[in-house]
Structure formats: structure tokens, C-alpha cells
Amino acid sequence: MAEGNRASTTETDANRVGTESSEWVMQSLEEGQLSSARAKHYPRRQLKRSETLLFWGLRIYLLFMLGVVVYQVWTRTQ
């Protein structure tokens, strides 16, 4: 597509492009690929008890292991 098809911006809405370009862009992209689609949110997933426990377990694992790293750095500097 020629550079000229990139519509000029306006003072009121610098982010929006012209109608002609809009139609061409919407034919080229899937709906979810448009930047405006980012305003949409996927709904929150209901976590099962086992999933929550897994998340917490891994979080505690990470915090504990970071403590081990700090301990190793401390012992090496001593």
C-alpha cells in the first residue's frame, strides 16, 4: 500500500486515520489485532483451590530460593 494511504492525522485525534484507510486496514487485520481491541478485557478466571495452592507453593519456593542466593552471596563475600 502506498505511503499516501497512511492517512494524515488531525489536530483533534492524532491517533486516528481516515475512513478509506480504516476499511482497508480492517480487511487486512483480524478484529483482535486492532489496537482498539486492547480496550477489551478477558474475564477473570475462577481459580480452583489446587491452582491457588500451586501458585502459593511456587511463590514460597521462589522466595526461599532467593534467600538461598542471598546466603550464598553473603558467604562468598565473607
Sign of CA pseudo-dihedral 69, 73, 74, 78: positive
Q: Residues in the site for other proteins, rule: CB under 8 A?
A: 1, 5-7, 9, 14-17, 19, 21-26, 28-45, 47, 51, 54-55, 58-59, 61-62, 64-66, 68-69, 71-73, 75-76
Task: Compute the distance between CA of residue 53 and CA of residue 11 in angstroms, rounded to an integer.
Answer: 52
Find the angle CA(6)-CA(8)-CA(14) to the nearest 5 degrees.
115
